[in-house]
Amino acid sequence: MKLYVLPRWAWIASHVLIILSLVFGTIVLHSVLPHGMAGFATAAIWCFAGGLCVVFSNAFAKLIAKK
């Protein structure tokens, strides 16, 4: 299996878009939900995104180490 590595500009662009979508999602949640529930939902979404980042970075590190 051949691994494809994104160029630095593509990696930066994709992460900027992910973070912007999280920020805009946070703004939308705080504008439509009560304060307590919006804070909980925001924390859950950001923690889920961070968890995905940790899991995938470990998985890709192991995959690259195999090669």
The total number of structural domains in the chain stands at: 1
Q: What domain range includes position 51?
A: 27-67
Indicate if the pLDDT at residue 4 is higher than 70: yes
In a domain, 46, yes or no: yes
DSSP 2-63: ------HHHHHHHHHHHHHHHHHHHHHHHHHS-HHHHHHHHHHHHHHHHHHHHHHHHHHHHH
Global pTM reads: 0.77
pLDDT tens digits for range 12-64: 999 999 999 999 999 999 999 999 999 999 999 999 999 999 998 888 888 87
In a domain, 6, yes or no: no
* Rounded (10°) angle between helices 35-66 and 8-32: 160
In a domain, 57, yes or no: yes
pLDDT at 12: 93
In a domain, 13, yes or no: no
In a domain, 61, yes or no: yes
Q: How confident is the model at residue 1 (pLDDT cuts 50, 70, 90)?
A: low
